[in-house]
Amino acid sequence: MSASNSDGTDLRPGRYTDLASLVASESRAYERLQDRVDKLNADIEELAGNVDDRAVNRYRKRIAKLEDPAGMVPQTGPGVTVTLTDSDPDLADEAAADADSGLDVNWFLVHQQDIQAVVNAMWEGGAKAVTVQGKRIISTTGIKCVGNSVTLQGRPYSPPYVITGVGDQGEIINAIQQDSYLQEYRAQAERPEIAIGWDLEVEDEVTAPAYDGLLDLSYAQPIR
């Protein structure tokens, strides 16, 4: 991390060791790049719209049909929101200090697999769209743990993690309740010595914005 951040300069004590500042800096850099991408995409759409060609128009119609299932169109409707939060740090400290507690310190933190389990359960319940921290999740979205934060579309987020699914509320809740991984998570949330955060809320109307991240495949190719 230090070598990457130094960019060839000298590593001076204390200058590159503030991880929180580094994360904030990278987040701002991501926002600047995202703004540039948005402007370039707008320019591309404007220029493409001026092209009057039969073949191009055919492709436009095919693209239009795929935009909704690909997550390029906002979705609004009834939904379910699940919020995951780390346990109270004091509980984790008590467990770490008590060698006979039998409690794993990892149980006190929300991990990427916990978020992914909720997302997968919502898909299983027929959700039309799913968001994490308000960002639309599509088939190529990666949810990764980096330290004590989760990176989504190249941007780090800290807990609480808010996951929302748009769709039939009953089906989504049933899928969440039937998921064996989430059953274990909820059991730990109910144990007062762990009390990891879990909250489920039924909402009359939620909106999942269109996906606004990069679309290029870096490590995969479409099946032909």
Angle at which helix 180-190 crosses helix 169-178, to 10 degrees, equals 80
- Mark 121-148 as b/e (b = at least 16 C-beta within 10 Å): bbbebebbbbbbbebbbbebbebeeeee
- Per-residue pLDDT, averaged over 30-45, amounts to 75
Residue 5 has pLDDT above 60, yes or no: no
pLDDT, one tens digit per residue, over 113-158 is 999 999 999 999 999 999 999 999 998 888 887 766 788 877 788 8
Whole-number average pLDDT of the chain: 83
Residue 15 has pLDDT above 60, yes or no: no
Residues 75, 208 contacting (CB under 8 angstroms): yes
The CA distances from residue 53 to 43, 59, 63, 211, in Å, are 19, 10, 15, 28
Percent of the chain with pLDDT over 90: 45
> How many of the other CB atoms lie within 10 Å of CB of 79?
27
Task: Label residue 55 by pLDDT band (50, 70, 90).
Answer: confident
What is the rounded CA–CA span in Å between residue 19 and residue 15?
A: 10
Query: Among 107, 116, 72, which Cα is nearest to 197's?
Result: 107
* C-alpha 96, offset from chain centre: 29
pLDDT, one tens digit per residue, over 149-203 is 788 877 788 899 999 999 999 999 999 999 999 999 999 999 999 999 999 999 9
Task: Label residue 13 by pLDDT band (50, 70, 90).
Answer: very low
Provide the whole-model pTM: 0.73
209: helix, strand or coil: coil
Q: What is the pLDDT of residue 72?
A: 87
